[in-house]
Amino acid sequence: MKQKTVIISGGGTGGHLYPALVLGRSLLNFEPDLRLVYVGSSRAVEKKIMSAEVSHFLTLPVEGLKGRGWKKARGLLLLPLAFLKSLYILLKFRPALVVGVGGFSSGPIVLLAALMKKPTVIMEQNALPGFTNRQLGRFVDLVIVSFASSLPYFGHKAVFAGNPVRPEFYTLPRKKRESRLTLLVFGGSQGSKFLNDRLLESLEELQELRESLVIYHQTGERDVERVSQAYRQHGFSQAVVSAYFSPMADYFARADLVICRAGATTCAELIAGRKPALLVPFAQAADNHQEYNARELEKAGGAEVILEKDFRPGLLVERIKYYLEHKEALDQMEKNLEKLQLNNVAEKIAGLCLERIKRAAGGQRG
Protein backbone atom coordinates (compact mmCIF):
# COMPACT_ATOMS: atom_id res chain seq x y z
CA MET A 1 0.00 0.00 0.00
CA LYS A 2 1.30 3.46 -0.91
CA GLN A 3 2.35 5.54 2.09
CA LYS A 4 -0.10 8.38 2.77
CA THR A 5 1.26 11.90 3.20
CA VAL A 6 -0.24 14.67 5.31
CA ILE A 7 1.09 18.21 4.94
CA ILE A 8 0.72 20.45 8.00
CA SER A 9 1.36 24.12 7.28
CA GLY A 10 1.53 27.23 9.42
CA GLY A 11 3.94 28.90 11.73
CA GLY A 12 5.42 32.26 12.45
CA THR A 13 4.62 32.10 16.19
CA GLY A 14 4.44 29.48 18.93
CA GLY A 15 0.67 29.91 18.85
CA HIS A 16 0.63 28.13 15.49
CA LEU A 17 3.61 25.88 16.08
CA TYR A 18 2.44 23.93 19.12
CA PRO A 19 -0.98 22.96 17.71
CA ALA A 20 0.88 21.64 14.64
CA LEU A 21 3.24 19.70 16.89
CA VAL A 22 0.44 18.14 18.96
CA LEU A 23 -1.70 17.35 15.90
CA GLY A 24 1.23 15.66 14.15
CA ARG A 25 1.91 13.43 17.12
CA SER A 26 -1.75 12.51 17.41
CA LEU A 27 -2.01 11.63 13.71
CA LEU A 28 0.99 9.32 14.07
CA ASN A 29 -0.59 7.67 17.12
CA PHE A 30 -3.55 6.74 14.91
CA GLU A 31 -1.53 5.88 11.81
CA PRO A 32 2.19 5.32 12.51
CA ASP A 33 2.94 4.83 8.80
CA LEU A 34 1.80 8.33 7.82
CA ARG A 35 4.43 10.54 6.23
CA LEU A 36 4.22 14.00 7.82
CA VAL A 37 5.52 17.02 5.93
CA TYR A 38 5.65 20.39 7.69
CA VAL A 39 5.62 23.59 5.64
CA GLY A 40 6.28 26.69 7.71
CA SER A 41 8.40 29.76 8.25
CA SER A 42 12.18 29.95 8.41
CA ARG A 43 12.34 30.82 12.13
CA ALA A 44 15.13 28.87 13.79
CA VAL A 45 12.98 27.70 16.70
CA GLU A 46 10.38 26.37 14.28
CA LYS A 47 12.95 24.35 12.37
CA LYS A 48 14.52 23.03 15.56
CA ILE A 49 11.22 21.79 17.02
CA MET A 50 9.42 20.55 13.92
CA SER A 51 12.37 18.91 12.14
CA ALA A 52 12.47 16.30 14.89
CA GLU A 53 8.73 15.60 14.52
CA VAL A 54 8.19 15.19 10.77
CA SER A 55 9.67 13.40 7.76
CA HIS A 56 10.33 16.66 5.90
CA PHE A 57 10.59 20.28 7.09
CA LEU A 58 10.09 22.84 4.31
CA THR A 59 9.68 26.61 4.20
CA LEU A 60 7.90 29.05 1.92
CA PRO A 61 9.21 32.50 0.89
CA VAL A 62 6.24 34.31 2.37
CA GLU A 63 5.52 37.23 4.70
CA GLY A 64 2.37 38.74 6.16
CA LEU A 65 0.18 40.89 3.92
CA LYS A 66 -1.17 43.07 6.70
CA GLY A 67 0.57 46.33 7.48
CA ARG A 68 1.71 49.19 5.29
CA GLY A 69 4.46 50.40 3.05
CA TRP A 70 7.46 48.28 2.14
CA LYS A 71 6.51 45.40 4.43
CA LYS A 72 3.18 44.87 2.66
CA ALA A 73 4.78 45.39 -0.77
CA ARG A 74 7.44 42.79 0.01
CA GLY A 75 4.75 40.34 1.11
CA LEU A 76 2.90 40.82 -2.20
CA LEU A 77 6.10 40.45 -4.24
CA LEU A 78 6.91 37.15 -2.54
CA LEU A 79 3.47 35.63 -3.13
CA PRO A 80 4.13 34.31 -6.68
CA LEU A 81 7.28 32.55 -5.44
CA ALA A 82 5.35 31.08 -2.52
CA PHE A 83 2.66 29.72 -4.85
CA LEU A 84 5.28 28.25 -7.21
CA LYS A 85 7.05 26.48 -4.36
CA SER A 86 3.69 25.32 -2.97
CA LEU A 87 2.84 23.80 -6.37
CA TYR A 88 6.20 22.03 -6.43
CA ILE A 89 5.62 20.62 -2.92
CA LEU A 90 2.09 19.44 -3.74
CA LEU A 91 3.20 17.75 -6.97
CA LYS A 92 6.21 16.13 -5.31
CA PHE A 93 4.48 14.75 -2.20
CA ARG A 94 0.91 14.30 -3.55
CA PRO A 95 -0.64 14.62 -0.08
CA ALA A 96 -3.80 12.82 0.99
CA LEU A 97 -4.59 15.88 3.15
CA VAL A 98 -3.32 19.42 3.71
CA VAL A 99 -3.92 20.98 7.13
CA GLY A 100 -3.41 24.69 7.81
CA VAL A 101 -2.85 25.66 11.44
CA GLY A 102 -2.92 29.42 10.86
CA GLY A 103 -0.28 32.02 10.19
CA PHE A 104 0.63 33.51 6.83
CA SER A 105 2.87 30.54 5.97
CA SER A 106 -0.20 28.36 5.56
CA GLY A 107 -2.02 30.57 3.04
CA PRO A 108 -0.47 29.70 -0.34
CA ILE A 109 -0.20 25.93 0.05
CA VAL A 110 -3.65 25.43 1.61
CA LEU A 111 -5.34 27.62 -1.02
CA LEU A 112 -3.54 25.89 -3.88
CA ALA A 113 -4.36 22.45 -2.45
CA ALA A 114 -8.05 23.41 -2.21
CA LEU A 115 -8.06 24.68 -5.82
CA MET A 116 -6.46 21.39 -6.89
CA LYS A 117 -9.39 19.59 -5.16
CA LYS A 118 -7.20 17.99 -2.52
CA PRO A 119 -8.79 17.44 0.93
CA THR A 120 -8.11 20.49 3.10
CA VAL A 121 -8.65 21.36 6.75
CA ILE A 122 -7.78 24.54 8.64
CA MET A 123 -7.56 25.05 12.39
CA GLU A 124 -8.49 28.44 13.87
CA GLN A 125 -7.08 28.91 17.37
CA ASN A 126 -8.29 32.46 18.01
CA ALA A 127 -11.76 33.60 19.06
CA LEU A 128 -11.60 36.19 16.26
CA PRO A 129 -10.41 34.32 13.15
CA GLY A 130 -7.20 35.58 11.57
CA PHE A 131 -6.92 37.17 8.13
CA THR A 132 -5.41 34.10 6.44
CA ASN A 133 -8.01 31.68 7.76
CA ARG A 134 -10.90 34.03 7.00
CA GLN A 135 -9.84 33.96 3.35
CA LEU A 136 -9.12 30.23 3.29
CA GLY A 137 -12.44 29.37 4.93
CA ARG A 138 -14.25 29.91 1.62
CA PHE A 139 -12.19 27.26 -0.16
CA VAL A 140 -11.36 24.48 2.31
CA ASP A 141 -13.45 21.43 3.22
CA LEU A 142 -13.45 21.79 7.01
CA VAL A 143 -12.67 24.47 9.61
CA ILE A 144 -11.91 23.40 13.19
CA VAL A 145 -12.41 26.22 15.71
CA SER A 146 -11.18 26.55 19.29
CA PHE A 147 -14.03 28.72 20.60
CA ALA A 148 -17.74 28.17 19.96
CA SER A 149 -18.05 31.92 19.33
CA SER A 150 -15.99 31.47 16.13
CA LEU A 151 -18.48 29.10 14.48
CA PRO A 152 -20.54 31.80 12.68
CA TYR A 153 -17.48 33.02 10.73
CA PHE A 154 -17.30 29.75 8.78
CA GLY A 155 -20.90 28.55 8.52
CA HIS A 156 -21.62 24.87 7.83
CA LYS A 157 -17.93 24.05 7.35
CA ALA A 158 -17.06 24.76 10.98
CA VAL A 159 -16.68 22.26 13.82
CA PHE A 160 -16.02 23.28 17.44
CA ALA A 161 -13.34 20.93 18.79
CA GLY A 162 -10.96 23.12 20.83
CA ASN A 163 -7.27 23.92 20.55
CA PRO A 164 -4.84 21.01 21.06
CA VAL A 165 -2.11 21.65 23.62
CA ARG A 166 0.69 19.46 24.92
CA PRO A 167 -0.76 16.62 27.05
CA GLU A 168 1.18 17.54 30.21
CA PHE A 169 -1.04 20.62 30.67
CA TYR A 170 -4.13 18.43 31.09
CA THR A 171 -2.63 16.44 33.95
CA LEU A 172 -1.42 19.23 36.23
CA PRO A 173 -2.14 18.45 39.90
CA ARG A 174 -4.65 20.69 41.63
CA LYS A 175 -2.72 23.51 43.34
CA LYS A 176 -2.77 23.51 47.13
CA ARG A 177 -3.11 27.06 48.40
CA GLU A 178 -0.42 28.13 50.87
CA SER A 179 0.18 31.30 52.85
CA ARG A 180 2.38 32.62 50.05
CA LEU A 181 1.05 33.46 46.59
CA THR A 182 3.01 32.01 43.67
CA LEU A 183 3.03 34.15 40.52
CA LEU A 184 4.08 33.05 37.06
CA VAL A 185 4.79 35.97 34.72
CA PHE A 186 5.52 35.52 31.02
CA GLY A 187 4.88 37.21 27.70
CA GLY A 188 5.04 34.32 25.26
CA SER A 189 8.15 32.64 23.91
CA GLN A 190 9.71 35.99 22.93
CA GLY A 191 8.91 37.71 26.22
CA SER A 192 7.05 41.02 26.59
CA LYS A 193 8.86 44.26 27.37
CA PHE A 194 5.50 45.82 28.29
CA LEU A 195 4.81 43.20 30.96
CA ASN A 196 8.40 43.29 32.16
CA ASP A 197 8.22 47.07 32.57
CA ARG A 198 4.90 46.94 34.45
CA LEU A 199 6.25 44.34 36.86
CA LEU A 200 9.40 46.35 37.52
CA GLU A 201 7.35 49.51 38.13
CA SER A 202 5.38 47.60 40.76
CA LEU A 203 8.34 46.18 42.69
CA GLU A 204 8.74 49.13 45.05
CA GLU A 205 5.12 48.86 46.24
CA LEU A 206 5.36 45.07 46.35
CA GLN A 207 8.39 45.17 48.65
CA GLU A 208 6.18 45.02 51.74
CA LEU A 209 4.71 41.76 50.37
CA ARG A 210 7.93 40.08 49.28
CA GLU A 211 7.82 37.48 52.07
CA SER A 212 4.31 36.57 50.91
CA LEU A 213 5.18 36.13 47.23
CA VAL A 214 6.98 33.53 45.14
CA ILE A 215 7.71 34.86 41.65
CA TYR A 216 8.70 33.03 38.46
CA HIS A 217 9.30 35.50 35.64
CA GLN A 218 10.07 34.55 32.03
CA THR A 219 11.49 37.66 30.40
CA GLY A 220 12.58 36.71 26.91
CA GLU A 221 16.24 36.75 25.85
CA ARG A 222 16.72 40.53 25.58
CA ASP A 223 15.46 41.52 29.02
CA VAL A 224 16.71 38.85 31.38
CA GLU A 225 19.62 40.77 32.90
CA ARG A 226 17.72 44.04 33.38
CA VAL A 227 14.79 42.28 35.08
CA SER A 228 17.04 40.09 37.25
CA GLN A 229 18.93 43.14 38.47
CA ALA A 230 15.70 45.00 39.34
CA TYR A 231 14.43 42.10 41.45
CA ARG A 232 17.75 41.96 43.32
CA GLN A 233 17.76 45.72 43.93
CA HIS A 234 14.30 45.52 45.52
CA GLY A 235 15.18 42.60 47.76
CA PHE A 236 13.38 39.86 45.82
CA SER A 237 16.35 37.54 46.05
CA GLN A 238 14.12 34.45 45.77
CA ALA A 239 12.52 35.52 42.47
CA VAL A 240 13.34 33.07 39.67
CA VAL A 241 14.05 34.98 36.47
CA SER A 242 14.85 33.28 33.18
CA ALA A 243 14.82 34.10 29.49
CA TYR A 244 12.74 30.98 28.86
CA PHE A 245 11.15 28.34 31.09
CA SER A 246 11.05 24.72 29.98
CA PRO A 247 9.06 22.60 30.39
CA MET A 248 6.47 25.34 30.88
CA ALA A 249 3.92 22.91 32.34
CA ASP A 250 6.16 22.50 35.41
CA TYR A 251 5.93 26.23 36.10
CA PHE A 252 2.19 26.26 35.49
CA ALA A 253 1.89 23.55 38.15
CA ARG A 254 3.59 25.78 40.75
CA ALA A 255 1.54 28.91 40.02
CA ASP A 256 -1.49 30.20 41.92
CA LEU A 257 -1.91 33.07 39.47
CA VAL A 258 -0.51 33.62 35.97
CA ILE A 259 0.17 37.10 34.57
CA CYS A 260 0.53 36.87 30.82
CA ARG A 261 -0.55 37.80 27.30
CA ALA A 262 -3.63 36.25 25.68
CA GLY A 263 -2.36 34.39 22.65
CA ALA A 264 -4.47 31.44 21.55
CA THR A 265 -2.13 28.72 22.76
CA THR A 266 -1.55 30.49 26.09
CA CYS A 267 -5.31 30.67 26.65
CA ALA A 268 -5.73 27.01 25.70
CA GLU A 269 -2.97 26.04 28.14
CA LEU A 270 -4.58 28.09 30.91
CA ILE A 271 -7.86 26.26 30.30
CA ALA A 272 -6.22 22.83 30.13
CA GLY A 273 -4.23 23.49 33.30
CA ARG A 274 -7.09 25.33 35.08
CA LYS A 275 -4.86 28.30 35.92
CA PRO A 276 -6.41 31.62 37.03
CA ALA A 277 -4.87 34.52 35.18
CA LEU A 278 -4.50 38.25 34.82
CA LEU A 279 -4.55 38.55 31.03
CA VAL A 280 -2.96 41.57 29.35
CA PRO A 281 -3.77 41.35 25.62
CA PHE A 282 -1.06 42.57 23.25
CA ALA A 283 -2.53 45.82 21.93
CA GLN A 284 -0.75 45.58 18.56
CA ALA A 285 -1.97 42.05 17.78
CA ALA A 286 -3.67 41.75 14.38
CA ASP A 287 -7.33 42.79 14.60
CA ASN A 288 -6.89 43.01 18.39
CA HIS A 289 -7.49 39.24 18.45
CA GLN A 290 -5.83 38.72 21.83
CA GLU A 291 -8.51 40.76 23.57
CA TYR A 292 -11.19 38.54 22.01
CA ASN A 293 -9.36 35.47 23.37
CA ALA A 294 -9.01 37.04 26.80
CA ARG A 295 -12.68 38.00 26.98
CA GLU A 296 -13.67 34.36 26.44
CA LEU A 297 -11.84 33.36 29.64
CA GLU A 298 -13.09 36.43 31.48
CA LYS A 299 -16.69 35.68 30.46
CA ALA A 300 -16.32 32.19 31.94
CA GLY A 301 -14.98 33.63 35.22
CA GLY A 302 -11.51 32.15 34.83
CA ALA A 303 -9.48 35.30 34.28
CA GLU A 304 -9.34 39.07 34.67
CA VAL A 305 -8.53 41.22 31.65
CA ILE A 306 -6.37 44.33 31.93
CA LEU A 307 -5.94 46.29 28.70
CA GLU A 308 -2.59 47.97 28.11
CA LYS A 309 -4.24 51.41 28.06
CA ASP A 310 -5.77 50.75 31.48
CA PHE A 311 -2.62 49.38 33.09
CA ARG A 312 -1.98 52.30 35.43
CA PRO A 313 0.71 52.23 38.14
CA GLY A 314 -0.51 50.44 41.24
CA LEU A 315 -3.20 48.37 39.50
CA LEU A 316 -1.09 45.21 39.47
CA VAL A 317 -0.26 45.68 43.16
CA GLU A 318 -3.98 46.03 43.95
CA ARG A 319 -4.84 42.79 42.15
CA ILE A 320 -1.98 40.83 43.74
CA LYS A 321 -3.02 42.04 47.20
CA TYR A 322 -6.60 41.03 46.46
CA TYR A 323 -5.66 37.46 45.56
CA LEU A 324 -3.33 37.20 48.55
CA GLU A 325 -6.29 38.01 50.79
CA HIS A 326 -8.95 36.12 48.79
CA LYS A 327 -7.49 32.78 47.78
CA GLU A 328 -11.00 31.37 47.60
CA ALA A 329 -11.42 33.53 44.48
CA LEU A 330 -8.59 31.57 42.85
CA ASP A 331 -10.34 28.30 43.70
CA GLN A 332 -13.53 29.55 42.05
CA MET A 333 -11.65 30.69 38.94
CA GLU A 334 -10.05 27.26 38.73
CA LYS A 335 -13.48 25.60 38.84
CA ASN A 336 -14.78 27.98 36.18
CA LEU A 337 -11.91 27.13 33.85
CA GLU A 338 -12.60 23.44 34.37
CA LYS A 339 -16.03 23.98 32.78
CA LEU A 340 -14.28 25.17 29.58
CA GLN A 341 -12.13 22.06 29.32
CA LEU A 342 -12.66 19.74 26.37
CA ASN A 343 -11.43 16.16 26.51
CA ASN A 344 -9.21 14.43 23.94
CA VAL A 345 -8.94 17.53 21.74
CA ALA A 346 -5.93 16.39 19.70
CA GLU A 347 -7.43 12.93 19.18
CA LYS A 348 -10.74 14.39 18.01
CA ILE A 349 -9.03 16.72 15.54
CA ALA A 350 -6.79 13.93 14.24
CA GLY A 351 -9.90 11.78 13.81
CA LEU A 352 -11.63 14.54 11.82
CA CYS A 353 -8.54 14.86 9.60
CA LEU A 354 -8.32 11.13 8.93
CA GLU A 355 -12.05 11.06 8.20
CA ARG A 356 -11.47 13.65 5.44
CA ILE A 357 -8.87 11.35 3.89
CA LYS A 358 -11.27 8.38 3.94
CA ARG A 359 -14.12 10.42 2.48
CA ALA A 360 -11.90 11.68 -0.33
CA ALA A 361 -10.71 8.14 -1.05
CA GLY A 362 -14.38 7.12 -1.29
CA GLY A 363 -15.13 9.95 -3.71
CA GLN A 364 -16.96 12.18 -1.21
CA ARG A 365 -16.36 15.91 -0.83
CA GLY A 366 -17.92 18.47 1.51
Q: What is d(CA 168, CA 170) in angstroms, rounded to the nearest whole number?
A: 5
For the chain, what percent of residues have pLDDT higher than 90? 78
What confidence tens digit (pLDDT) does each residue in 246-277 have?
A: 999 999 999 999 999 999 999 999 999 999 99
Q: Are strands 5-9 and 97-100 parallel, antiparallel or unpaired?
A: parallel
212 alpha-carbon distance from chain centroid: 31
Question: Residue 11 — φ and ψ, nearest 5°?
Answer: 105, 180
Q: Which domains does the chain have, with CATH numbers?
A: 5-162+343-361 (3.40.50.2000), 169-340 (3.40.50.2000)
User: Which residues, in sequence order, are bridge partners of residue 38?
Assistant: 8, 57
What confidence tens digit (pLDDT) does each residue in 15-50 have?
A: 778 899 999 999 999 999 999 999 988 877 788 888
Sign of CA dihedral 299, 300, 304, 307: negative
What confidence tens digit (pLDDT) does each residue in 270-304 have?
A: 999 999 999 999 999 989 999 999 999 999 999 99
**pLDDT score at 14:** 62
**pLDDT score at 49:** 82
Res 13 pLDDT > 90? no
Helices 264-273 and 14-30: crossing angle in degrees, nearest 10, is 60
Q: What is d(CA 319, CA 202) in angstroms, rounded to the nearest whole number?
A: 11
- Which candidate, 8, 294, 264, places its Cα nearest to that of 145? 264
**pLDDT score at 276:** 99
User: Model pTM greater than 0.85?
Assistant: yes
